[in-house]
Structure 1
Amino acid sequence: MSLSLSEVHGTLSSLKSCQVDLLTGMDIVTSVAMDLAEDLDGEQDPGIDKMEALMLECAKLDREIDSLVDIVQQATSDIATLQPEDLFSLSSKVKESVATRISELSDEDLQNHQKVVTFKDSIKSCSNQADQEPEQSEDLDEDVAVTQTQINFTCPLTQVEMVNPMKNKKCKHHYDEGAIRGLIETRHNQKKKCICPVVGCGNTDVKLSDLVPDHTLRRQIQNHKQQNGRT
């Protein structure tokens, strides 16, 4: 039985790794869709609709993995309290519970998946930017432009331009992904809460669950780099 449990835990670990790759893939789809939306100048394209459908399929798979992992972990933790005769029916009970949990997934659940929400917000942002008239963009004073870049693009932890900006849903501040993840992990190992590194911020408990990728800001940073390269 111990070997079987070890195999189960190993499978769950592999499944979680696949889930991480799945979420990364969803970020890539969002980035590609943003590129397409920018090229369309606000026009609708069936390709973006197909990408949104793909995002919903990925969201469903992500939720299914969550359900499977949660139920299997609960089942393995209860094994010690089960009677021997109950172990033979454990597998079928787990399958039934997983099937029930998955059947309860609604379209609203998938639409509210954080990656799907980010996808829609990013596409909407690109469309809004395309609809706006760039009347004053070339008349910005150079010093003002530099100041805006420092405010929008610089990570408060590394003090350099962000690569993968993450937005804190609570305090709305941005940090580079690697830097904030490292800080949260360090504080966690010290058994302390992570305080937002932005000076004057009152957020004293920054959690990974509070952070979401800001694809719009990432695109702005990439465009800024391209512009600097041309000049």
Structure 2
Amino acid sequence: MPGRSSIMPVISFSAVDSALSSLKTCHVSINTGIEVTTDVALALTEHEGSAEEVSKMEKLMLDYVSMDRELEQFIHVVEDVTNQIKQERPERLPDMKLLVNKKFNEVQNLNKDEDLLKTDIYRHFKSQLNEMKKQVGAGSQNESTSANEIDEDIAVTQSQRNFICPITQRELQCPVKNKVCGHSYEEEAIIKIIQTKHKQKKKARCPVVGCDNGDMNQSDLSTDSTLRRAIESHRRFQTRRLLDTQTVGNEGEYIRST
């Protein structure tokens, strides 16, 4: 029909890609909020702040985790819809905004608040609090085998795994965090990977299994001061526990010798 092409919808995929890049930078702000919240919560715990103050930090962390989840889901929906539209014939292009809103609402309806407690970010946060509590002696009484304590044990185990670099498989010494996907690595190891790939004119993928971040840059990396603090705290705790064990052993040896 005459004039049909003049009313056909036009979608600028380059504009969509630009918008997605801008959205992904929001991770930087969220990660900063996560780091600040963690530092404040650890400081409160270390100086035996009130339980109410620490609880506020835990709720704030859940808010950040929720924002991170929604951002990730929205980005994935836009990417999926964009790929879907690229397969359509020009005369059958759907309304992208309506389609994105529809799919995003469907994804949002499947979200559950309790799932936030199971995320790596929140588990890592809780594990650091638990480690700090052990060091200051908090929570050493009224031990039981309740479900909450089992969850805390799992969280501590998860924390110790987070201390290991996914590249070197050794404990992190100078951890840096990827501001895009949130994963941490040994600084020297990850920079070497990025530089090697870029020299080969290739994109550097995040080495964490299952991560879909396929285009890393050195500018994406920042010092992971929160993780470094947690590792140092864990080392101090382990050293103190070792010294306590040696002291008990020496006392026992002295008793036997007398």
TM-score (norm 1): 0.63
Residue 185 of structure 1 deviates from its aligned partner by 1.6
Residue 116 of structure 1 deviates from its aligned partner by 1.0
Q: Report the equivalent of 2:173.
A: 175
Q: Report the equivalent of 2:15.
A: 7
Task: Describe the shift of the 1:89–1:3 C-alpha distance in structure 2 as closer, same or farther (beyond 3 A).
Answer: closer
Q: Look up the SS of the partner of 2:71 in the other structure.
A: helix
Instruction: Give unpaired runs (5+ residues) of structure 1.
Output: 133-165, 192-205, 223-231
Q: Aligned AA for 2:231?
A: L
Q: Report the equivalent of 2:30.
A: 22
- Is 1:184 the counterpart of 2:198? The answer is no
Paired with 2:28 and 2:123, the residues of 1 have a C-alpha distance of: 18
Paired with 1:48 and 1:209, the residues of 2 have a C-alpha distance of: 33
Q: Which has the larger radius of gyration?
A: 2
Q: Report the equivalent of 2:81.
A: 75
2:113 aligned residue (107, 110, 131): 107
Deviates more, 1:4-13 or 1:182-191: 182-191
Paired with 2:108 and 2:231, the residues of 1 have a C-alpha distance of: 35
Paired with 1:175 and 1:219, the residues of 2 have a C-alpha distance of: 13
Task: Describe the shift of the 1:48–1:209 C-alpha distance in structure 2 as closer, same or farther (beyond 3 A).
Answer: farther
- Is 1:37 the counterpart of 2:37? The answer is no
Q: Look up the SS of the partner of 1:174 in the other structure.
A: coil
Residue 131 of structure 1 deviates from its aligned partner by 0.9
Partner deviation per Cα, 1:171-225 (whole Å, 9 max, x = no partner) = 452131233331332344467xxxxxxxxxxxxxx92569x83541255799xxx
Partner deviation per Cα, 1:123-147 (whole Å, 9 max, x = no partner) = 1111111118xxxxxxxxxxxxxxx
CA RMSD of aligned residues (A): 3.2
Paired with 2:11 and 2:94, the residues of 1 have a C-alpha distance of: 16
Paired with 1:36 and 1:220, the residues of 2 have a C-alpha distance of: 17
Count of paired positions: 173
Paired with 1:22 and 1:38, the residues of 2 have a C-alpha distance of: 24
Residue 55 of structure 1 deviates from its aligned partner by 0.9
Identity of aligned residues (%): 24
Q: Report the equivalent of 1:158.
A: none
